[in-house]
Chain A
Amino acid sequence: MNGRVLLIDEEKCTGCLLCTAACAIAHAGEIDFERAHIRVYETGPERFAPLACHHCETPSCTLACPTKACHREVETLRVLIDDNKCISCRSCVNACPFGHAHYDHVAHVSVKCDYCAGQPECVRVCEPRAIAYVFSAESSQHKRRGSPLARAVARRALAPPQAEAEPTVSAAGEGSA
């Protein structure tokens, strides 16, 4: 898919929860982890990975949604939930194999990661640069991580963007992933 994706490096994640807090503030206006769209998972002893919606090619959430509130945006190929159409049946919550659609107990609708309209807050605040927002074609070169080429690509993908590159994050002074 010729789009942009979240690239997660679990070796760098410290489990600090900044991404979750920033996500909760961006979408809910408060630090309420239950309302964040990104969640931190344990992947091993002292190893963590922040995970958000995968925007699957064949999303179980869109298949289960009875009202088509959960849909793939044609222009950007993101999988989104239209909260004006969501009747909160929570089919998407139970259908997602990764547990990335959540029920917002305050707004009373289902919510999920929408890449913050192209400027993910989680990427902006991730100090160890465990999350990056990169082109999928570029990130797919990580398939053989052990090779020197893949390591070089990984460094470039996780480095701050060059001036001519499309910025993934525009927070002044913070750099970007």
Chain B
Amino acid sequence: MATLESEAVVVYEGGRRPAASPAVTPGPSIADLTSALGARGERVPDVAAQARVGVSQSSWGLAIAAYLFLVGVGAGSFFTATVLDWSGFGLEPSYLTLIDGWSWDWTQAFVLWGPAAAALGASTHLLHAGKNRFLFYTAGKNPRTSWMARGFSILSTFILVGGLVALGSVVVPEATTEYALPWRALQAIAALAALIMAIYPGMFLRSMPAMPAWNTRLLPGLLTVAAFMTGSLALVVGATLCSFLAGDSAVAADMLRALGLLVPLLIVAEAAVLGMYVRELRGNAKPEALQAATTWLSGAWRRRFWIGIVGGALVVPLALTLVSLGGAAEGLLLAAALCGLLGGFLVPTGVLAIGIKETPPLVRLSRWRQLATSGDLPATADSEGRAG
């Protein structure tokens, strides 16, 4: 790592001088450069912009948020649908005969679309990549240390095995009973991959050590519960659509009843983890974490946080779901699901928006010096200016 040698001299550890001949041709003279800079009027640097102190990361935006959301929803819905199916709360089969003697159970397509959603998310990530995006198949080369590489391998497994399970459930439904044991094994592998994929977005962001708002213990929990919550809400939409198209409410009655109980629990869990996460950010010694919390609570993101996440993803869906449990109109659960899904998209988007990189050490040292000179240094601050 870089070592801070003294207040003024910094030494950066590097490699030996390369034996190869210089690859860079001699550049312009100092006079030419000075002239060019002077003509551009950029002699004085915008140092605040250069250092990017307190500025949210801009590398990952809406495309990556969509990727994280779709992967989370897909994995959460697939895992929940599989567990519900195993528990006897699955959809009633409804067959459609396209070719004589070959019946399709079309209802499964409305709950086992998780791998397709994950594939769509992966494609948004692919679009976000640069010139070598079609080398995406090499993204699993460094699983020992890179969470993105691990995610690539697990996501591929989920899309392939989960897709096979979904396709089999729809196209050859009788095979699921004829070959029950191998089918259950395949389902278990897909469900396990879905479970890991639901955990993955949080672990992926947590692996960024320079981002105090991401590098926390609670972020994986927040995004994992969000994945299951939005996945369950998406299942509500799928099951409701399915019963509507079948013209028989009995097709999805068991699943909707189970989801009506599960969804409020997940929303309460999400609210609890969100509260703990924000509390952790506010209590974090690093100023960027506090800045991240402020961005959500009272800063640029306050409307989207309070109205979109707290209101749209938590309060309104919870209220509607609880009312629907009392036997009110069935459409309430669907309204809760749609509202929750819209709000749920703001969770990964908001997390990416508060990815504020920790201040580089030199600038941090300078801040500490200024604080020390002005006498505003907190009594418990350490040598890097962190409040204790």
- Which A residues have a C-beta under 8 Å from some C-beta of B? 1-11, 15-18, 20-22, 25-27, 31, 33, 39-45, 47-49, 51-58, 60, 62-68, 72-73, 75-79, 83-91, 93-99, 103, 107-109, 115-119, 121, 124-125, 127, 136, 139-140, 142-146, 154, 166, 170-171, 174
- Which B residues have a C-beta under 8 Å from some C-beta of A? 1-2, 5-24, 26-30, 33-34, 36-37, 40, 42-45, 47-48, 50-52, 57, 59-60, 125, 128-133, 135-136, 138-142, 145-149, 152, 207-211, 355, 357-358, 360-363, 365-366, 369-370
Chain A to chain B contacts (Cβ below 8 Å), 15 pairs? A3-B17, A5-B11, A5-B12, A10-B9, A55-B13, A56-B13, A67-B135, A75-B16, A86-B130, A87-B135, A109-B131, A109-B132, A115-B18, A139-B11, A142-B6
Contacts of B10 in A (CB 8 A): 7-8, 10, 49, 51
Q: Is the CB of A145 within 8 A of B358?
A: no
Write the nearest CB–CB distance from A17 to chain B, whole angstroms. Answer: 5
Contacts of B42 in A (CB 8 A): 17, 33
Q: Is the CB of A3 within 8 A of B146?
A: no
Give the residue among A11, A21, A47 with the most B Cβ atoms within 10 A: A21
Looking across the interface, which residue of chain A has its beta carbon closest to that of B21?
A117
Q: Is the CB of B366 within 8 A of A88?
A: no
Contacts of A5 in B (CB 8 A): 11-14
Q: Report how far A67 CA is from B129 CA in the complex, Å.
A: 13
Q: Is the CB of B15 within 8 A of A4?
A: yes
Q: Is the CB of B13 within 8 A of A145?
A: no
Looking across the interface, which residue of chain A has its beta carbon closest to that of B42?
A17
Contacts of B16 in A (CB 8 A): 2-4, 75-77
Contacts of B44 in A (CB 8 A): 15
Contacts of A49 in B (CB 8 A): 10, 362
Q: Is the CB of B360 within 8 A of A41?
A: yes
Looking across the interface, which residue of chain A has its beta carbon closest to that of B204?
A91
Q: Is the CB of B37 within 8 A of A21?
A: yes
Contacts of A16 in B (CB 8 A): 34, 37, 43
- With A6-B14, A44-B370 known, 14 other A-B pairs at CB within 8 A are A8-B11, A18-B34, A21-B36, A43-B366, A44-B366, A65-B146, A67-B139, A67-B141, A67-B142, A91-B148, A95-B209, A108-B130, A109-B130, A144-B6
Q: Report how far A56 CA is from B209 CA in the complex, Å.
A: 14
Q: Is the CB of A42 within 8 A of B363?
A: yes
Whether A117 contacts B24 in the complex (CB less than 8 A), given A3-B14, A56-B2, A85-B135, comes out as: yes
Q: Report how far A49 CA is from B24 CA in the complex, Å.
A: 24
Q: Report how far A93 CA is from B59 CA in the complex, Å.
A: 7
Contacts of A54 in B (CB 8 A): 1-2, 12-14
Contacts of A116 in B (CB 8 A): 22-24
Q: Report how far A49 CA is from B10 CA in the complex, Å.
A: 9
Q: Report how far A57 CA is from B16 CA in the complex, Å.
A: 13
Q: Is the CB of B135 within 8 A of A22?
A: no
Looking across the interface, which residue of chain B has its beta carbon closest to that of A74?
B15
Write the nearest CB–CB distance from A80 to chain B, whole angstroms. Answer: 9
